[in-house]
Amino acid sequence: LIVDKLNENPDREIIFENKLSNQNIKIKMDNNLFYRMLENIIKNSLIYTDGNIKVSISDSKDRLFISILDEGCGMSENIIQRISEEDLTNITKHGLGIFISKQIAELHDGSFRIENKAKGLEVTFIFNPIN
């Protein structure tokens, strides 16, 4: 996915960090849906921001975290709250792809966190590993 997006956007920088302490961690996933879940967020970052995008994967306390952080101006707290509450009223252009990504994470027994940072927006997917 990252290579595809870099090839489509050669003037952009997407930084990938693998911070996994357990390189053998496994999660429930459908490859196509999982790709779409991450692609929605990365595409938004490419469209709505000019800065770098950082994708990181890490684990802690038997959980897997995949975070995407961009250097944009963030998102309206109103839209973040409506995505969290699954209120799609008047969510058209901004937020629908993020909402779909949230649903895909939940289909994979995961959860979703979205928050504005000092500079940018961070979307984090959290999964419980399978044995």
Domain-wise residue ranges, the chain? 2-75+98-117
pLDDT of residue 77: 86
Q: Return the pLDDT at 118.
A: 87
Tokens of 5: 């997006």
Q: What is the mean pLDDT of residues 74-87?
A: 79
Confidence at residue 131, expressed as pLDDT on a 0 to 100 scale: 75
* Average pLDDT for the chain: 89
What pLDDT score does 61 carry? 81
**Three-state DSSP class for 32?**
helix
Phi-psi region of 74 (alpha: psi -120 to 50; beta: other; left: phi over 0): left
CA-CA distance, 39 to 108, in Å (whole number)? 16
Cα 111 from chain centre: 11
Q: Which CATH number is correct for 2-75+98-117, 3.30.70.270, 3.40.50.450, 3.40.50.1700, 3.30.565.10?
A: 3.30.565.10
Q: Which of 67-76, 90-99, 108-117 has the lowest mean pLDDT?
A: 90-99
Q: Is 46 exposed, middle or buried (0-12, 13-18, 19+ CB in 10 A)?
A: middle
H-only helix segments in the chain? 2-8, 31-48, 77-84, 96-107
State the pLDDT at residue 125.
97
pLDDT tens across 22-62, in order? 989 999 889 999 999 999 999 999 998 889 999 999 999 88
